[in-house]
Structure 1
Amino acid sequence: MFEQSGGTLATMALVHRARRAGAAGDRAALRTTAGDLLAQLESASAADLPKADQQELDRLYDTAFPLTDPADPADVLDAPWPTTARRAALLDLLGGQQRPDGRIDALVVAALDAGDVKLLRVIALTPLGGICAASRALLLDALQAAGELDDEVVERFAADADAVRKLVRRGDPVVAAATGDRFRPALHDLMWQLACAPDVDEDRLLALPVPRGLRFVRWALDFTGNWRVARHLGAAALTSAERAELIDLLRDAPVERQERAFTLRLAAGDAHALLPLLGLGGAERLLRLIQTGQAPSRVVRNDRAAILAAAAEAGGADVARLLKLVPNDVVAAALGLRRGAIMTRVAKDSPVGLTAYGMLPPSDGETVLDRWVALREVHRRGMEFSAERRRQHAVALDVALEHLAQVGGYADAAALDAAGEAYSPTPVPPPLVVGPYTAAVGFAGGEPAVVASKGGRVLKSLPKAVREDPGIAALREQHELVRGHASRLRARLHRLVTTGAPVPPAELARLRATVYGAGLLSLLLWQDQDGRFGLLDDVDATGPVTAAHPAALAAAGLLGSWQAEAARRRLCQPVPQLFREWYAPTPEEQAGAATRFTGRVIDGGAAARELASRGWSLHDTASPTATRRLGEHTVVMHADTAGYWAAGDVGFSRLEFRDGDAAVPADRVPPVVFSEAVRDLDRAAQAGRRSVGDYSTGLARSRAELLTAVLGDGVPDRITRHGDTVVVDGSRAVYRLHLGTDAVTIGDRRGPGDLSYGFGDTPHPALFQPVERADHATLRLLTRILLLAEDEKITDEWTLEKLGLLPHQIVQACSTCGSQHLWD
């Protein structure tokens, strides 16, 4: 007797169930059985359906669900079982051609073009064909917008956990926020099932987004397994009522449980609410600075004055205990704590230890300038490290010097460098002469470099004789020190551009006398006291000068001409200036506050981190706000949240400007102040974007300006711009490239094309790098535009296939034998 596998027996039972339902005329039972049978056939243990059973099922379902109009796609697809007759009708609808993977994306495009919501819903539920991820996103968004994304459709797609994870993820959304939110309950139910299973699938849980609901927090409090899993689920988003319930549950709990709950809620952004339980009420502002003042993969510049003010605000709270629960050596250093532990980390060249060392108050007998000299020696020590560690070490030293400048009361690290050099000048080695070559530290392409010359001509690289000479070691050391000075000067130049602060003549002269100052200052555009704009040699430097801001240039009607001049010179600037994102009040904003972000749904956690990194103070009050001081004005962002900035979604209600207690209309605010405030919000909104259509309008405009400047008057006829979209009329297809989202659509397709990352990775020869640390994504997008304008030159088959310009294999009936075959 033959043995039957479990999968085969299950299939046979389902076929028998369908037979009974068909005999009884029970259409509902037939629908349910079809779904179960299809799921069984997709399982690993299932065998192929016997031909006799397939024929019987075809008869049962064609009888119960007759096909009345083979020319109507909705009628063809609206059936629970893919019978042979319906498959043939579908093939006819597709022009006798069907992709080998069974996709019916063409019908999605047709339904979207026609606005046929009924057909979209049928496509979502049909078993006759699948659709790609891009088509799925478009379909679901269209159903949500029409109010037709009901529970049946959600349940149909919720069976695919990986697909749901992509629909609800933050930071890189594929659908609108409202669409993704419809799938969250299904995802949370799945996560709850995984968490409550006898053998918790930890890896799968960690791969899913952070859930919502108090049940996950309570589970995490009791979970004794992998701490990463507990921390992941313990950070579940809570409503205000759930947060209040959690506090009540913890009120009489042991201290250890309260502290565990506090630790779990740190990542959720509402741990502040638990501080009173721990006897740390009043330390809310200090906790926020502790959290935002550190990052897992980089060092962070902290504000010493803000830390000291927050510590004073905490009053009698046990700050040492708070720092034990949430360690932050930089905050501890600002408060004069953990000196011994920090010095141990400095001895080991820990990046965080170095940044904390800069924030430590001087010890007895030590001055700030003595500390500057000590950090210079630490810099020398780091020159022996490997390339990557040397880079990390240099970045940490820059932040340490920024902190030390705050301790010493200097304007910035560049000012501290100047005082340090006056206190203890760094020895400058003489030029190295090797035969006919002379080598010295100079600038090449906006970066410090050891430059060699021969007969007055600068060489492209160091000759072998120079590289092997023992005297090159002193030049390489000087080069590393100059790189550090240049990096800190760039930070100062960035602040000059973004604040509009004037530079006095004496300070300008001192900077120009240095190697790094002479190399960087000449690459920026300046405005003198008479209002004239120009490069440094072209303005009156006998009075104060100001680094020009693009918003000020735009207000003067000069931005376009200077951008064109920068493109002509292929000017690579040390910090973003001429092609920096800029913003001006819209007509609706001119008489009041900026409201361009009103109504957009943003992830509060990501937005809070971005704003804090840009110097904003976040206030978790009944009406949450964020504030920043820019020049003579205070900028106030009013937010709509559930009470805590980092706990859940947030809405940017309005941005207002104040001079003291008086509100100032947006059109009376200096252009640089308005532009930089809105730019901060644009960056924060982009960091926390929840909907696929959200993008940075400032970034899109700056990219358009760079493209216009590069092309000049010679814009190819094939390239036109429509708002924030560039249309390229190629010889093979029409391409649409969005300057804000980077999306590329080809021909009449609705969804973006899945281009290979390497396409456009090497900048087009017509482009130039407008800033030293240029945005690679911008150069890649503009390169793609220029390459697609000459798409007849693209010969790489992989790229052509990604562009959809190679013929797909299709399924088509053979005229000889009548069977289905793959054809090119």
Structure 2
Amino acid sequence: MALRLPDLGFGPDGALRRELGGHTAVITIDGTAARLSFEQDGRELRSVPAAVRRDHKDAVKELRDLVKRVGAQLATLVRALEGGFPAGARHAFGWWRDRLVRHPVAGPTVRGLIWEVETAPGAWTAVLPAIGDLPDAPDDAAVRLWHPIGARGGDVRAWRDALVERGVRQPFKQAFREIYRLTPAEEEARTHSTRFAAHLVHYRRLFALFRARGWTSRLLGPWDGGAQDEAARVLAGEWRIRFAHVLAEVGPDDLAGTDRIRFDRRVAGAWRAAPLAEVPPVVFSEAMRDVDLFVSVTSIAADPDWTDDGPALAYWERARFGELDESARTRRDALARVLPRTKIADRCTLDGRFLVVRGELRTYKIHLGSANVLMEPDGAYLCVVSERRPAGRVFVPFEEERLSLILSKAFLLAADEKITDPSIRTQIERGAR
């Protein structure tokens, strides 16, 4: 149902126009959002004209309500498309072409994704409608979303390059999507994974993310049976992932400890434990991607203001500049393509786990996982809270808060001589040589 969007009066060019006196109200689709603007004699105005506000108040309200409605429908469409990954959802080529790619509302979102068309039995052709023509195929040919786990490394790199070169921002991570394969340790363990175990996380944030990503979990707390739980999510109808976690500390900042991951398969209507090797690669990858997201977003290692002592502080000290996980490695790959196109390119270098930024006063190392910052030459920690938006117009091929935060800090620190915030300035000057 989410894929069957009405056209809502939008034209083939993806815009809805309404005459209001001597002005034209225009709603356009910009990626996964709608935008309302006003024109006069073909020229876009900076704000709602006074005459329109005065004489067409109800029409303006109706148009603004439509913008919200379109935004909600596009958000639902994106969730539905991304949610079809594990199941390998397929569509008929003719329907997909006419009702999705060419749809005035859904089109901009759908065209920004990479698709595979079965042009011959067992032969799939990948296409990004935003930058290429659709292949010749019968209307009943199968179409599915392309997933990097089934692609060759060279093809993945080529698609990533194409997105950046053509300025295509995808509605969700696809070409830059993290992929997860079985590790030797998981092959040896057979029935469980400890890849994301032994992390300390902000529990309330973790619980909220469970809900947002469609996982089920009981709330932990200082009550009978509230010490531990397994969050679960069903993928592709017949697979279930279970992520164990325990309550580690109760207080103003409730902390949880992460534990093992297991998989079950639905057999004859009942869940049965499944060896990791039997889980389809795309299901395994998507499940582990969720857990990686939970840990990377909620870990106290990413909290720049953490001050509590004890075991939690020891974990924070160890993990805040630790080895990069899959999300951070993907972030590094995106930065390698984006940074050369920015005005601070000559001040930035990617070095292992860090983005190294050369300022006028100091050189800074921004960790690509936690976004925490170290200063050279003494390795001092810099506590800096920056806007999660890089200065200027910087194209990124996907929206991600941590990536935006790293870019924002890089732009700030590349011009450190212009920083006026006394708390940041004092830290920088304290050990500068």
Name the structure 2 match of 1:432: 18
SS, match of residue 576 in structure 1: coil
**Structure 2 Cα separation of the partners of residues 539 and 694 of structure 1:** 46
Is 1:464 aligned to 2:49, yes or no? yes
Deviation, structure 1 residue 596: 1.0
Is 1:510 aligned to 2:95, yes or no? no
Cα distance change of structure 1 residues 642 and 538 upon mapping to structure 2, 3 Å threshold: same
TM-score (norm 2): 0.69
Q: Is the 8 A contact 1:442 1:515 kept in 2?
A: no
- How is 1:540-551 mapped onto 2 (pairs within 5 angstroms)? 540=135, 542=139, 543-551=141-149
Q: Is the 8 A contact 2:116 2:126 kept in 1?
A: yes
Aligned with 1:767 (options 372, 377, 394): 394
Q: Which amino acid aligns with 2:395?
A: F
Name the structure 2 match of 1:145: none
Q: Is the 8 A contact 1:602 1:685 kept in 2?
A: yes
**Structure 2 Cα separation of the partners of residues 629 and 577 of structure 1:** 21
**Structure 2 Cα separation of the partners of residues 807 and 587 of structure 1:** 46
Deviation, structure 1 residue 798: 3.2
TM-score (norm 1): 0.39
- How is 1:518-557 mapped onto 2 (pairs within 5 angstroms)? 518-529=107-118, 530-536=123-129, 538-540=133-135, 542=139, 543-553=141-151, 555-557=152-154
Output one character per residue of 1:239-265: Cα deviation in whole Å (capped at 9) or x when no partner.
xxxxxxxxxxxxxxxxxxxxxxxxxxx
Q: Which amino acid aligns with 2:89?
A: A
Aligned with 2:174 (options 577, 585, 592): 577
Is 1:628 aligned to 2:226, yes or no? no
Aligned with 2:213 (options 611, 614, 620): 614
Aligned with 2:429 (options 803, 806, 809): 806
**Structure 1 Cα separation of the partners of residues 240 and 299 of structure 2:** 20
Q: Which amino acid aligns with 2:394?
A: L
Is 1:441 aligned to 2:22, yes or no? no
SS, match of residue 484 in structure 1: helix
- How is 1:150-165 mapped onto 2 (pairs within 5 angstroms)? none
Q: Is the 8 A contact 1:498 1:672 kept in 2?
A: yes
- How is 1:320-719 mapped onto 2 (pairs within 5 angstroms)? 412=1, 414=2, 418=5, 431-433=17-19, 438-444=24-30, 446-451=32-37, 459=44, 461=46, 464=49, 467-468=52-53, 470=56, 472-473=59-60, 475-497=63-85, 499-505=87-93, 507-508=95-96, 509-512=98-101, 514-529=103-118, 530-536=123-129, 538-540=133-135, 542=139, 543-553=141-151, 555-590=152-187, 592=190, 593-601=192-200, 607-608=206-207, 610-618=209-217, 625-631=230-236, 633-637=238-242, 639=244, 641=246, 649-656=256-263, 658=265, 660=267, 661=272, 663-666=274-277, 669-686=279-296, 687=298, 689=300, 691-692=315-316, 693-694=318-319, 697-712=325-340, 716=345, 718-719=347-348
Q: Is the 8 A contact 1:623 1:638 kept in 2?
A: no
**Structure 1 Cα separation of the partners of residues 427 and 102 of structure 2:** 57
Deviation, structure 1 residue 495: 1.8
By percentage of residues, which structure has more strand?
2
Q: Is the 8 A contact 1:704 1:739 kept in 2?
A: yes
SS, match of residue 503 in structure 1: strand
**Unmatched tracts of structure 2, length 5 or more:** 219-224, 249-253, 301-311
Output one character per residue of 1:181-238: Cα deviation in whole Å (capped at 9) or x when no partner.
xxxxxxxxxxxxxxxxxxxxxxxxxxxxxxxxxxxxxxxxxxxxxxxxxxxxxxxxxx
Cα distance change of structure 1 residues 569 and 544 upon mapping to structure 2, 3 Å threshold: same
Cα distance change of structure 1 residues 709 and 754 upon mapping to structure 2, 3 Å threshold: same
Q: CA RMSD in A?
A: 4.4
Deviation, structure 1 residue 607: 4.3
Q: Which has the higher contact order (CA 8 A, sep 6+)?
A: 2
Q: Which amino acid aligns with 2:108?
A: G
Output one character per residue of 1:249-298: Cα deviation in whole Å (capped at 9) or x when no partner.
xxxxxxxxxxxxxxxxxxxxxxxxxxxxxxxxxxxxxxxxxxxxxxxxxx
**Structure 1 Cα separation of the partners of residues 157 and 52 of structure 2:** 44
Aligned with 1:795 (options 418, 425, 429): 418
Deviation, structure 1 residue 531: 2.6
Deviation, structure 1 residue 743: 0.9
Output one character per residue of 1:493-542: Cα deviation in whole Å (capped at 9) or x when no partner.
33235654223335523244543212321122222224322213544474
Output one character per residue of 1:23-59: Cα deviation in whole Å (capped at 9) or x when no partner.
xxxxxxxxxxxxxxxxxxxxxxxxxxxxxxxxxxxxx
Q: Which amino acid aligns with 1:679?
A: R
**Structure 1 Cα separation of the partners of residues 429 and 197 of structure 2:** 44
Deviation, structure 1 residue 449: 2.5
**Structure 2 Cα separation of the partners of residues 618 and 761 of structure 1:** 30
**Structure 2 Cα separation of the partners of residues 602 and 482 of structure 1:** 36
SS, match of residue 737 in structure 1: strand
**Structure 1 Cα separation of the partners of residues 293 and 164 of structure 2:** 26
Cα distance change of structure 1 residues 483 and 732 upon mapping to structure 2, 3 Å threshold: closer
Q: Is the 8 A contact 1:611 1:680 kept in 2?
A: no
Output one character per residue of 1:610-637: Cα deviation in whole Å (capped at 9) or x when no partner.
4354333458899964443212652343
Name the structure 2 match of 1:54: none
Name the structure 2 match of 1:782: 407
Deviation, structure 1 residue 581: 4.1
**Structure 1 Cα separation of the partners of residues 201 and 406 of structure 2:** 25
SS, match of residue 571 in structure 1: coil
SS, match of residue 794 in structure 1: helix
Deviation, structure 1 residue 662: 7.0
Q: Is the 8 A contact 2:93 2:117 kept in 1?
A: no
**Structure 2 Cα separation of the partners of residues 801 and 649 of structure 1:** 31
Name the structure 2 match of 1:739: 368
Name the structure 1 match of 2:303: none
Deviation, structure 1 residue 441: 3.0
Output one character per residue of 1:433-473: Cα deviation in whole Å (capped at 9) or x when no partner.
46886544332454223355678x67375673884563954
**Unmatched tracts of structure 1, length 5 or more:** 1-411, 809-824
Deviation, structure 1 residue 707: 0.8
Q: Is the 8 A contact 2:180 2:288 kept in 1?
A: yes
Output one character per residue of 1:73-115: Cα deviation in whole Å (capped at 9) or x when no partner.
xxxxxxxxxxxxxxxxxxxxxxxxxxxxxxxxxxxxxxxxxxx
Deviation, structure 1 residue 724: 2.4
**Structure 1 Cα separation of the partners of residues 289 and 334 of structure 2:** 18
Cα distance change of structure 1 residues 664 and 450 upon mapping to structure 2, 3 Å threshold: same
Cα distance change of structure 1 residues 751 and 507 upon mapping to structure 2, 3 Å threshold: farther
Please tell me whether Structure 1 or Structure 2 has the larger radius of gyration of its CA atoms.
1
**Structure 2 Cα separation of the partners of residues 675 and 458 of structure 1:** 48
Q: Is the 8 A contact 2:244 2:260 kept in 1?
A: yes
Deviation, structure 1 residue 737: 0.8
